[in-house]
Structures are given as structure tokens and as C-alpha cells.
Amino acid sequence: MQQSRSDSYAAAGVDITAGYKAVELMKTHIAKTMTAGALSDIGGFGGLFELDLTGITRPVLVSGTDGVGTKLKLAFLMDKHDTVGIDCVAMCVNDIVCCGAKPLFFLDYIACGKNVPEKIAGIVSGVAEGCVQSGAALIGGETAEMPGFYPIDEYDLAGFSVGVVDKEKVFDKNTIKEGDVIIGLPSSGVHSNGFSLVRKVLDVENCDLKAPMAELGGASLGETLLTPTRIYVKTILALMESVSIKSVSHITGGGFYENIPRSLPKGMTAKIKEADVPVLPIFKLIEEKGNIPRREMFNTFNMGVGMTVVVGREEADKAMAALEAVGEKPVRLGEIVAGDEGVILW
């Protein structure tokens, strides 16, 4: 690529040689994500993946796409860019595993005002870490330098993932019945949703993001808000080996009230004991500073539960034990009852 250079393009604000340098810097991170199916080196026109269907009778491909949203504003303010890639991967693969699919590969898209190779490589290092955590290969991506469209110090980050599941193993919410148990998997924090409200309520642009806060156990607001989204893929895939999962819900924007009903059949409602929700200090801070009604908190944030799983009552104890065996700290949130309320918090 040494012959590829355009002074005219550089004068317009796009340095194509910076793109080549960024690719070279990110290759080490990408190498960590390579799985048996990944066939192509980074930098080609398309990402190749050889599908291994051993043990799968009726393969179903499952895809998911998402971005990081305005959480990126915190990364800009903190000048810390090596964790938001984990968020990007998490938002995609956590959705994929909600039907029992194993993520196969991931592609990212970064659009920026100015391509600073070291910053881009830092972003991709987070993407690679998310891929390692989920078992997906990072087989390609795109970095677009767009001067005049994005401020020179800002960027957007989005991604796309594909997974596979045997059709007979897809979680079937229609098997849910009264008395089934709802298990919650703890979140690591705000994850990647509700940050427009968070930024407004906590006035992040005008406060000291690095100062320790007693309300957060001595952690700073900046590091607390930038804590990456948890990736639940390996946990759910392991649980599938022990019990029959009926449904899974990824608690993202819309909180409990929007996401949990999506994993329930008509006529069934999730009855959850609010006192059993492991509400994290950051949510208490947001609620207090913004004077936000408790119902709206549960309708916007994960409140400390990033994913819920429904299993039969007869398998609840076994599921809890299996989750604890893989290092989880599951909580029994409640049970399924008849009704069309979707979610009842009591």
C-alpha cells in the first residue's frame, strides 16, 4: 500500500494512509478472536467464515446488529476508547443468544471525523475483547473517515453478528406456563442503554467524572458509567446443557416493562418481587438526582439485571446451581402468572 496516497484527498481531510496504519495496529487484537471457521485475514473485501454444522440437524442462522449509542459521549469526555467495543459486541451477541444461538462472527463499523490510528486500534481492541468473551471471530469491519460530518475528536461505533442454532433447540416461549420461575443474571451497570437520560440527569459534561464518589463505593462516575456491558453468551450456552430453557430476555432500552414481555407468550405475565432485584448504586444515584419515578426507572434501565431466564419450577434449583457453577450470581426474581399485564412488580 506504500504507492497508495492522495495529497488532494488529504487536503480535503481524509488521510488514506492513516487507515492503513490503523489496520496494521489492530491486527494483533483481531488475531486473538480467530476461531476454526474464520478463513480471511483482515483487510480484504469480505469476511469469510466456514460453517461447521457437526451435530446440527436443521441449522438456523440468527443475526443481530446494534451500536453503542450516546454512551460514546462518556468515552469522549474520559478520552478512554478501549472498552466501548465490548459494549458494541455485547449488544449484538446478547440478543443472538436469547434464542439459544451461538455467535459465529462479528463485523464492526467505525465512522470518525479524523482517523487517528492509535485511537481506532484502541476501539478495535475492545471489539476484539468482546469477541473473545462471546466466542465470535472478528472477521472484518470498516473505518470511514468523514470530515465535516463528525467532529474530529468524535466517532460512532456499530456492529453486526451472526450466530447459529439447531432449529429444534431454539427456545420456545410458548412452552411457558404458570408457576415457571424467572431467574435474573446481574448486570455490570447501566450497560449501553438510557445514556441520553443519564447524561442529562447527572450533567456529565459539567462535572468531575474522575472524582471518587461515596455513593458509588469510592468509584468515580466516569469509570462507573463506562463499565462495559456484560456478555452472557457463554453463561446461557452452558445453562442449555443442564436445563431446558424456555425463554431468555436481554434487558436493554425499555427496561423490564418492554423487554421481558417479548419473551413471554400471550396470556402470561412475569410477577417479580422488586425487593429481590439487585439494584446497583448507580441506579439509585440516577433515580435520586433526576427525581425519576421508580416505575420509569424500571421502564428505562436494567436496574441491575442484564438478562432474565425462564425455566420450569422443577428445574429452578438445578438452573441456579448450574449458573453458580460457571461463576454467575443468579437471583430468583419471581414467577410466571396468568394475565396480560406483561410485568408486575410488587
Domain ranges of the chain: 7-169, 173-345
- Phi/psi of residue 55, nearest 5 degrees: 80, 0
The two most distant CA atoms of the chain are separated, in Å, by: 69
Is there a contact between 181 and 313 (Cβ–Cβ < 8 Å)? yes
Sheet holding 245-250, edge to edge: 245-250, 305-311, 181-186, 331-338, 268-272, 343-345
CATH 3.30.1330.10 fits 7-169, yes or no: yes
Enter the pTM of the model: 0.95
CATH class of residue range 173-345 = alpha beta
H-type alpha helices, the chain: 7-11, 16-31, 72-78, 84-96, 117-134, 195-202, 221-226, 233-240, 255-259, 281-290, 294-298, 316-325
pLDDT score, position 10? 75
Q: One digit per residue, pLDDT tens: the chain, 346 residues?
A: 456 677 776 777 777 788 889 889 999 999 999 999 998 766 678 899 999 999 999 999 999 999 999 999 999 999 999 999 999 999 999 999 999 999 999 999 999 999 999 999 999 999 999 999 999 999 999 999 999 999 999 999 999 999 999 999 999 999 999 999 999 999 999 999 999 999 999 999 999 999 999 999 999 999 999 999 999 999 999 999 999 999 999 999 999 999 999 999 999 999 999 999 999 999 999 999 999 999 999 999 999 999 999 999 999 999 999 999 999 999 999 999 999 999 999 9
Alpha carbons 16 and 23: distance in angstroms, whole number: 11
